[in-house]
Chain A
Amino acid sequence: MTPTQTAYKDLIFQSEGYFGAYGGCFVPEVLLPGLQEIAAAFDEAKTDPSFLDQFHDTLHTFSGRPTAFTPLPRLTEEIGGARLFLKNEGLNHTGAHKITHCIGQILLAQRLGKRRIIAETGAGQHGYATAAVCARFGLDCTVYMGKKDYERQRPNVYWMELLGAKVVAVEDGTQTLNDAVIAAFKDWVEHPESYYLLGSAVGPHPYPAMNTFFQKVVGEEIRSQCLEAAGRLPDYCVACVGGGSNAMGMFYDFLDDEDVRLIGVEAGGRGTRPGEHAAKVLHGQLGIFEGYHSYFLQDGDGNIASTHSVSAGLDYCGVSPILAYLADEGRVQFETASDEAALAAVQRLARVEGLIPALESAHAFAHAFELAATLPKDQVVVINASGRGEKDLFITMRHFQEESLVAYAQHLLK
C-alpha cells in the first residue's frame, strides 16, 4: 500500500455510519433508541473474543462454513480468457450468503435479551435464513414480504412457515422488497422492544457496517482459498448487487489491495428506461430514503421509482451507502446484466460446470463471462455465487420448460 492510498477497511468500521457523505441514520426519532441500542451492542461485540468465537462456531456448525472455492476449468476453456473460479455461498444452510449476517445479528439480539425478531425479505433468502436462526435460537419471528415476491418466491414462503415464522404478504406499493422494508419499520415503531434484523448492507446505521462486518468472512476465505488454488490473489472479484451485502462480504477484505479490481453487477432488467431495471449506481440519483443517504432510483422530483428484475433479490430501489461511496471513489466499478443474460448464465453454468446459481448471482456470472473473454489467460476472475438456484425453480422452469411446469401443476391438482 502506498502512503497516500485511503485505508478503506478501517474507515468503514470507524465512521459512525458515514461513508463519505453517504450513510447516516435517517429514521423517525421513535426508532433511534432501538438503533442506538443495536449499534452499541455491535460496537462491543465486534471486538469481544467470546462473541466472535460463538459467531464463527455457529457459522461452522450450523451453516457449514467455510464454503467451497471452486475452479471452473470447462468454462475457462470454453471462454478462452481469464481463469474463472467461484465462491460457493449457495452451499450455506438455507442456500445463500444471507444466513451469515443472520447468525451475527441473532447472536446480538440474544445478547440484548430480545424475544421477537422482525425482518423483511425480497427473494425470501434473507427471510428464510432469519426464520432458521430464530427457530435455532428460540425467538419469535415475523417476516414481511412484498406480495409480488411472496407469489414469485413461494417455495421460500413455505420454508419460512415450516420453520415457524409468520410471513406477512405486503400489499402496498409495488409489492416488492421496498414495501417489505417499510412494513418492517412500521412494525418496529409499534413494537420498539423487538429486534429488527435487516437483511442487507443498507438501512440506517449500524446495519450497513454491521452486515458488512459479519459478511466479510467471505472475502477472508476467498483470500486464502485463492492463494492456495491459483497461487495469487484474484485480479477481479465480481458480485451481484441488490442492497450490497454479498458484494460487501466479498469485497471488504480486498478494499486495500489496490491490484484486486472489484466489480458490482446491478440488475439491467429488460431495458434502461425507468421501471425496467434496478441499476441504482449506474442510473439512480442521490437521495435519502429508508434510513440512509445513497443512490436511489427515483423521478426528478424525489419520489421513489418502481424497479424491475427477474430476480426478486435485486429488485430494489436503493444500494448500500458503502458501495455508493466506493463507487464515487472509483474503488468499485459497476456494470449491469440483463434478465436474459442472467437466465442464460444459469443455463450455461448448469450445463458446463454442474452448478445452478440463484438468479441474483447469475447476474455476476453473466458479466464475468463477458469480462473473462477480454482478459489474458494468466488473470484470475472470482465470482461470488451468493446463492443456489433451487428457490428459483418455478421461475427458471417457466422460462426453460414451461410445458413441463404446466404438466406438473396439473398433475399435482389431480
Chain B
Amino acid sequence: MTHTKKGAGALMGHLVLGYPTLQESIRTAEKYVEGGVEILELQIPFSHPTADGPVITAACREAVEQQRVSMQDCLEALQTIRQRFPDQEIMVMSYVNRVYAFGPRRFAEAMERLNIRHLIIPDLPVDDAQALAITRHANIKLVPVLAANATDARLEKLLAAGFDFYYLMSDFKITGSTFSLHPRLQKVIGQIKQTAPEARVGIGFGISTPEQVQMVYAAADVAIIGSALIRAQEAGGLETYLSSVGSA
C-alpha cells in the first residue's frame, strides 16, 4: 500500500492486547502496520485503567475479565508481533501495578528482549524511584505524558533527564473525548523543542478525523489515535478508517 501523506508527521496507533481476543488483537496490530501506522502503541490491559475513557476502559475490562489475558499472554503476543515486524517501532503502554506485580526488572528485561525501547505508564511519574527500578536494568525509556498545565520547573526537570519522546494530552480530557488542542500546548512544545530538538513530541487523546490528525502534524511530530481506532474496528471499518487518517 502506498501513502501519499501531506504532512511530515507520523501516526501512532493504540490497541489493547487481548481485545476482542488475543488472536484478534495480534491481527489488528498487523492491520495497523499494513495500513500505515508508523508506531504501534500496545496496551497491556489492566482491570482499572484510571487515565482512560469509556472505550478503552471497556476494551481493557473485556480483555482482563472475559478473555482473562495474563501478562504472559501479552508478552507472547508481543513476541509474535515482533517476529512478524522486526523493524517496527513499538511502544508498550500499561499501568504501574501490572509492571510492579510482574517485577520491574523482569519486565524491563522482557521489553529489551522484544526490542521495545519505550514504555508509557501514565500513573508512574517518570522520575519516581519505581520508574528508575524499571529503566535502570535495560536500555529502555519511559515516556512522560504531559498536559498543558505542566509547570516550567517540571518541564525543565524532565528535559534535563533526557527523555526522547514526550506524549502530550491534547487537552484536559480523558481518552476518547471530543478533540481540542489546548492553546498552551504550543508553549510546552516550544520549550521541549528548544532544549531537546531531537526529541519527538506526540499528541493524543480524542483524535479521530483526518483534519484533526493534520492539526496535530502542524504542531507536533506524532498523532496518537486510540479510541477512534477501536471504534472503527468494532464497526468493521478499520481498513477504510486507516487509509483516511493515514493519508492526512
Q: Which residues from chain A sit less than 8 Å from chain B, CB to CB?
A: 24-30, 32-33, 172-173, 178, 182, 185-186, 189-192, 285-291, 293, 296, 298, 300-304
Contacts and interface: CB of A to CB of B under 8 A. Distances in A.
Given A189-B172, A190-B172, A303-B64, A26 B96 contact: yes
Contact of A287 (B50, B100, B172): B100
Contacts of A33: 149-151, 154
B79 interface: no
B75 to A, nearest CB: 12
A25 B125 contact: yes
A30 B172 contact: yes
A304 B100 contact: no
Q: Please report whether the interface of chain B is mostly helix, strand, loop or mixed according to DSSP.
A: loop
Given A172-B57, A301-B98, A30 B169 contact: yes
A303 B125 contact: no
Contacts of B71: 301-302
- Please give me the 3 A-B residue pairs with the lowest Cβ-Cβ distance, nearest first: A302-B101, A30-B147, A303-B47
Contacts of B125: 25-27, 29, 32
A185 B50 contact: yes
B146 A30 contact: yes
Contacts of B149: 30, 33, 192
A302 B71 CA distance: 9
A303 B57 CA distance: 13
Contacts of B98: 301-303
Nearest to A303: B47
Given A190-B173, A302-B71, A304-B47, A29 B101 contact: no
B174 interface: yes
B122 A28 contact: yes
Interface residues of B, number: 37
Nearest to A293: B130
A304 B123 CA distance: 15
A27 B100 contact: no
19 contacts: A25-B125, A25-B128, A26-B96, A27-B123, A29-B154, A30-B149, A30-B169, A32-B125, A186-B51, A190-B173, A288-B100, A289-B48, A293-B130, A301-B70, A301-B101, A302-B71, A302-B99, A303-B64, A303-B98
B96 A189 contact: no
Contacts of A304: 47-48, 97
A29 B145 contact: yes
Interface centre among B48, B53, B102, B122 (most CB of A within 10 A): B48
Contact of A298 (B70, B101, B154, B174): B101
Nearest to B46: A303
Given A288-B124, A301-B98, 8 more contacts: A26-B96, A26-B125, A30-B147, A190-B174, A302-B71, A303-B97, A304-B47, A304-B97
